[in-house]
Amino acid sequence: MPILSSSYSQVPLLYLNGHFETIIPSIWRRIEGVTYLREKIKTPDEDFLNLDWSRVGSDRLLLVSHGLEGDSQRHYVRALVKLFNQQGFDVLAWNNRSCGGELNLQPVLYHHGSSQDLDTVIQHVISTNQYEELYLAGISMGGAQTLNYLGKKGKEVPSILKKAAIYSTPVHLPSSAATLRRPANQFYKQKFLGKLKKKMEAKGKQYPGLLDLERLPKVRDFDEFDTQYTAKLHGFVNATDFYEQASPHTRLRDIQIPTLILNAANDPLLGPECYPKEIAKGSSVIFLEIPNRGGHTGFTIPGSEFNYAEYRLLEFLTQDLRT
């Protein structure tokens, strides 16, 4: 499948580069009018996941996976919920373990490769017998989880699952992690590290002796954090092993359903390997779109409640690809 051309060009005048396009919406964007009904489900390892539903009485469901240290209340999730509700879809926004306002029970958290929890949510949806069609959407880390899930399932993907669409996604996690070493990306590094340190501290207090909490305040970069905390908590050797195993890039060729990857060329958090051009060119189901602008989860359209990525995901997931 050839790489798709992109029509995104309506960048606000004062959004001078990818950093502006990333940071301004993250701080100021608000989506009103979304109300959830929360459901808590058990995981196979006796933990729980919080699911937030927004139903309109449809037999089609969009399942949304949020980004790193996000949750169902983030503007980019609420926007998809509102837009797809308006188009007649029920929407389910699930919260990764420890996200959504409640610390989970088991001595683990979540990461880019946590596709087993996404699988648990999908199996729960199927068990309700309420839907004829299921679609997946993922943003940033949630996109990586979506790709990992689809790649691992391969030909065994549930028949109810029709399409997937993701954006601003670290398709190649090692190269994405490397961007956080750049001096220009210190803002993002400090933002994510600050939130994740608090999460690790809470988990360490929940399980005394599990983690080295004395060392935690001294951690200054993700290589050390992911080696000493993420990797140890989730069974990886070190940060390098974690980035490689949790990365979806090796699983793209196993995906069996139509899947859109929308990554802006000026995304400050994506390395060059996060744009799988050769795989897309040789695939009948991977659709790759690389707008020149958009930043990371930005894609702002002046005067519009929804951004380009949200409209594009709606278009892709509802279009007939046979035409």
Q: In this structure, are strands 48-54 and 90-95 parallel, antiparallel, or unpaired?
A: antiparallel
Instruction: Confirm or reject CATH 3.40.50.1820 for domain 18-172+252-318, answering yes or no.
Output: yes
Contact in structure between 81 and 89 (CB atoms under 8 Å): no
- Per-run averaged pLDDT (10 residues), the chain, 323 residues: 87 92 95 98 98 98 98 98 98 97 96 97 97 98 98 97 98 97 94 96 96 95 96 96 97 97 98 97 96 97 97 95 53
pLDDT value of residue 254: 97
pLDDT value of residue 320: 81
d(CA 121, CA 112) in angstroms, rounded, equals 16
d(CA 62, CA 135) in angstroms, rounded, equals 5
Candidates 226, 224, 250, 198; CA nearest to 111 is: 226
- Tens of pLDDT, residue by residue over 166-187, are 999 999 999 999 999 999 999 9
How many other CB atoms are found less than 10 A from the CB of residue 187? Answer: 12
Instruction: Determine the residue type at 267.
Output: D
Q: Token pair for residue 78?
A: 């609420």
What angle is formed at CA 243 by the lines to CA 66 and CA 150, rounded to 5 degrees? 50
- For residue 13, CA distances in Å to 16, 20, 268 come to 7, 11, 19
Any idea where the domains of the chain sit in the sequence? 18-172+252-318, 185-246
